[in-house]
Amino acid sequence: MKLLDRRLPDGSRHFARLSIAPWAVVRDHVRLLQEAEVLNFVDDRAAMAWLDFSFRGHRFLIHNHGIHFHLSVRDPQCSDLILYHVGRHFEQLVETSGRKPWTGDIY
DSSP code, position 48: -
Q: What is the pLDDT of residue 105?
A: 42
User: Mean pLDDT in runs of 10 for the chain (107 residues)?
Assistant: 93 92 86 93 75 96 86 97 95 67 41
According to the model, what pLDDT value does residue 40 have? 92
pLDDT computed for residue 107 by the predictor: 32
The residue ranges of every structural domain in the chain are 6-73
- Residue ranges of alpha helices (H) inside 2-105 are 23-31, 80-96
Q: pLDDT by residue (tens digit) across 46-58?
A: 567 889 999 999 9
- Given this model, what pLDDT does residue 21 score? 79
Compute the half-sphere exposure of residue 7: CA atoms within 13 Å on the CB side of its CA.
7
Instruction: Look at residues 11, 7, 10, 3 and name the one whose alpha carbon lies nearest to residue 83.
Output: 3
C-beta neighbour count of 65 within 10 angstroms: 11
